[in-house]
Amino acid sequence: MQLPTPAPARRARLVLLASLLLATLAAGVAARIGGPAGSGSGAPTAADGVTSGTSGAVTVRAALDRGSVLRGGDGFVRAELVLEGHASGGSAASSSPTDFIVVLDRSGSMLGEPLLYAKAAVRELYAGLRPQDRFALIGYASDAAIEVPLDGAGPQMQPEVERVLQELVASGGTHMSAGLDLAHELAVGSRAAGRVQRVLLLSDGHANQGDFSFEGLRARATRAVPGEYVLSAVGIGQDFDETVMSAVADAGTGNFYYLPDVVELAGIFAGEFAAARETVARGLQVTLAPGDGIEILDAAGYPLERDGARVSFRPGDLYAGQVRRIWLTLRAPTDRERALDLGDLALRWQEPDGARGELPELALPALACVAAEDVYYASFDQPAYLRASAEALGRMRQQAAFKLRQGRQTEAVADVSAFASEWKEEQTRVLGKVAPEAAAELDALGATVASPAAKGPVLPKQLLQEGRDARRSGAKYQK
């Protein structure tokens, strides 16, 4: 069942649909008599259909990378959602007290450098806390235990934290599910109004005890949403399981980081601190009610939740001043020339004081199905198309990373080559040339995937993180 659309939004959309239909028909006539696309032919363009809405601390804009799909074509279209956070009433963002609960893997697989890096990470995190923040440390191996109870993070506690870290040794199995269970109980049991909670998992991801199934671990991470906290994951060392750790971060609506050594520590935690303390909207949920025949295929890799026709995803929190770009991939019917209704989106979140925020339902930009190729290619918004191309390249990096991790280098090389060929052909049609920056990135990716280093453990992890970050522009703290 689709979400109801308010009458004003529906009326506005119908007017736009009618305009697009007339423009489409006019474009078809112009194409048949030789009129050039984009030169007064009336061709619909992506720029014709930008929609936006604001409520409280959140603003959202939606725009397409093209204004039409080609009759008989694949029907793919990309919609860019731009989410912006700002302090209510235009005032400066307040700094919320924050609870940081660290879940530290101390199993036998963390022996040596991985545990040393993990301990260094905990020390770095603790050093950045303020007296009004709270800190807890959970350790897990074959069991799970609260090593440092949740308490104020003043300097008086630092010697105790250091003592615990010194005594931790790597041994036993890896009961990650027990560590996540205990962190969830602690976060939910200590939740307090006005405080922001972050759970940080530090692990190599090699779970082998308890419920160590991929789906079981991912399901545990999804409890962060009703638990009203964010779960981020930091993969430690060169041999961690990036598939598990990135999936846990996705399900927990947090960020995923690759920590090959201690050099990256400061940047990771500085961003997590700032994002938590300046949060203006927690637990964002985007719900899409697609129009007739419209398929929602992807939302920048975020897990999709389907409820009948409706599709939801959860991109996490939003801090003051943050601008996030999330590309939706949709498929529209291309059986005949007509105006197409992509549907509506709704946005819900929780404000720092616990109040519920909601953005009135917003009509997605309208689309047209056209018959003439020149009209179709003239409908692209070139800057938006290039941004969408960057997201597509990020997806290609992720796909290559997964195949490299499975030892399928030949397939990964072939995938990148095929992608490059199709992408360059499309860019030539849309832009009149191949963008130099895009060509350079594609060539570099092809060389990287074909290199001997691609057979090692490090390169796939780097590609996975780079691809994930490229697909989710603005997700990590940037100021």
Number of other CB atoms surrounding residue 397 within 10 Å: 25
Q: Is the pLDDT of residue 49 over 80?
A: no
Angle at the Cα of 352 from the Cα atoms of 364 and 154, rounded to 5 degrees: 140
Reported as a single tens digit per residue, the pLDDT across 83-105 is 999 876 544 445 789 999 999 99
CATH number of 7-91+280-380: 2.60.40.3670
User: By CB neighbour count within 10 A (0-12 exposed, 13-18 middle, 19+ buried), where does 105 fall?
Assistant: buried
What secondary structure does DSSP assign to 235-300, as a single string? EESSS--HHHHHHHHHHTEEEEEEESSGGGHHHHHHHHHHHHHTEEEEEEEEEEEE-TT-EEEEET
Q: From CA 183, how far away is CA 139, in angstroms rounded?
A: 10
What pLDDT was estimated at residue 266? 62
Residue with tokens 């638990």: 227
Q: From CA 284, how far away is CA 281, in angstroms rounded?
A: 7
Report the b/e string of 110-124 with b at 16+ CB within 10 A: beeebbebbbebbee
Beta bridge partners of 348: 285, 358
Amino acid at 445: L
Amino acid at 173: G
Q: Which residues contact 455 (CB under 8 A, 6 or more apart)?
A: 404, 407, 409
What pLDDT was estimated at residue 88? 62
What pLDDT was estimated at residue 263? 66
**φ, ψ of residue 65 in degrees (nearest 5):** -85, -10
Q: How many helices (H) and strands (E) does the chain have?
A: 13, 19
By three-state DSSP, how is residue 470 classified? Answer: helix
Q: From CA 404, how far away is CA 411, in angstroms rounded?
A: 9
Copy the structure tokens of residue 277: 């303390």
Mean pLDDT of 309-334: 95
Binning pLDDT at 50, 70 and 90, where does residue 352 land?
confident
What pLDDT was estimated at residue 413? 97
Q: Is the pLDDT of residue 303 over 80?
A: yes
CB 30 within 8 A of CB 42: yes
- Domain spans of the chain, in order of start: 7-91+280-380, 98-277, 384-471
Q: From CA 36, how far away is CA 399, in angstroms rounded?
A: 39
By three-state DSSP, how is residue 391 classified? Answer: helix
Amino acid at 73: G
Amino acid at 95: S
What pLDDT was estimated at residue 415? 97
CB 97 within 8 A of CB 194: yes
Q: Is the pLDDT of residue 334 over 80?
A: yes
Angle of helix 113-127 relative to helix 265-277, nearest 10 degrees?
40
**Which pTM value belongs to this model?**
0.83
Binning pLDDT at 50, 70 and 90, where does residue 71 land?
very high
β-bridge pairing 76-85 and 134-140: unpaired
Number of other CB atoms surrounding residue 239 within 10 Å: 15
Q: From CA 219, how far away is CA 15, in angstroms rounded?
A: 44
Q: From CA 144, how far away is CA 205, in angstroms rounded?
A: 15
Copy the structure tokens of residue 158: 């630092």
What secondary structure does DSSP assign to 422-447, as a single string? HHHHHHHHHHSS--HHHHHHHHHHHH
User: By CB neighbour count within 10 A (0-12 exposed, 13-18 middle, 19+ buried), where does 339 fall?
Assistant: buried
CATH number of 98-277: 3.40.50.410
Reference 372, options 6, 104, 35; nearest CA is 35
* Dihedral of alpha carbons 290, 291, 296, 300, sign: negative
Binning pLDDT at 50, 70 and 90, where does residue 265 land?
low
What pLDDT was estimated at residue 478? 74
What pLDDT was estimated at residue 314? 94
Q: From CA 275, how far away is CA 213, in angstroms rounded?
A: 31
Copy the structure tokens of residue 144: 């799970």
Identify the residue with better confidence: 268 or 72.
72
Reported as a single tens digit per residue, the pLDDT across 213-248 is 999 999 999 999 999 899 999 998 788 898 899 999
